[in-house]
């Protein structure tokens, strides 16, 4: 899972992130986006189609109050909330801190992944080079911190 700070909760903010990933990486990683009805996905065609007018992804919406439709992503939300409890302001966070949170969450082993972590699973499917391009790095199991102290300065 990747996470990005955005200045606004708009479709354009999602398009900007799509563009920073690059067309080929984005198409490879996000052939489908399954999301809720948040305002950041209120213009699906602008997100689905690149500036060249070619389809890059497909957006589908979950039903209201149906977190089970997004499956395993809910586990990530729970792990993120261990570090950034509900009600925590993201205003003072940097993208580097968000990446740090995700590196710890993505390094945490999951029974559903055959006792591997998401980082290992992604690396197997897409390669270590793409992880490096995305700025992701593994955290050793004994160094994983899933508590607010991870971001204490």
What are 61-114's pLDDT values in tens digits? Answer: 988 887 778 776 778 889 999 999 999 999 999 999 999 999 999 999 999 899
| pLDDT tens, residue by residue, 115-127 | 999 999 999 999 9
Count of domains in the chain?
Answer: 2
One domain for residues 138 and 97: yes
Q: Is residue 6 part of a domain?
A: no
Banded model confidence at residue 40, pLDDT cuts 50, 70, 90: very high
Cα separation, 59 vs 111, in Å, equals: 28
126 and 63 housed in the same domain: no
84 and 29 belong to one structural domain: no
For residues 22-39, give the mean pLDDT.
Answer: 90
Per the domain annotation, does 55 fall within a domain?
A: yes
Residues 60 and 85 in one domain: no
User: Can you give the pLDDT at residue 20?
Assistant: 86
Co-location of 59 and 84 in the same domain: no
Instruction: Give me the pLDDT at residue 93, please.
Output: 94
Average of per-residue pLDDT values in the chain: 91
Picking from 11, 52, 56, the residue whose alpha carbon sits closest to that of residue 35 is 11
Same domain, 97 and 38: no
What pLDDT does 72 receive?
A: 66
Assess contact for 61 and 35: CB atoms under 8 A.
yes
Q: What percent of the chain has pLDDT over 70?
A: 98
Q: How many CB atoms lie within 10 A of CB 119?
A: 21
Last residue of a domain, one of 50, 68, 86: 68
> Do 84 and 60 belong together in one domain?
no
Residues 77 and 51 in one domain: no
- Residue where one domain finishes, among candidates 68, 87, 114: 68
Closest Cα partner for 59 from 11, 102, 121? 11
């Amino acid at each position: 899972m990747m996470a990005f700070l955005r200045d606004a909760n708009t479709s354009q903010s999602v398009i900007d992130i799509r563009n920073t990933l690059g067309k080929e990486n984005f198409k490879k990683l996000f052939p489908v986006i399954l999301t809720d009805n948040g305002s950041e996905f209120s213009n699906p065609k602008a997100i689905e189609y690149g500036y060249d007018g070619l389809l890059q992804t497909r957006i589908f919406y979950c039903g209201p109050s149906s977190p089970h439709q997004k499956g395993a992503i809910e586990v990530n939300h729970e792990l993120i909330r261990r570090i950034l409890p509900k009600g925590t302001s993201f205003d003072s966070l940097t993208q580097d801190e968000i990446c740090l949170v995700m590196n710890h969450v993505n390094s945490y082993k999951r029974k559903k992944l055959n006792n591997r972590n998401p980082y290992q699973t992604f690396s197997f499917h897409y390669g270590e080079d793409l992880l490096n391009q995305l700025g992701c790095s593994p955290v050793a199991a004994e160094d994983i911190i899933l508590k607010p102290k991870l971001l204490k300065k």
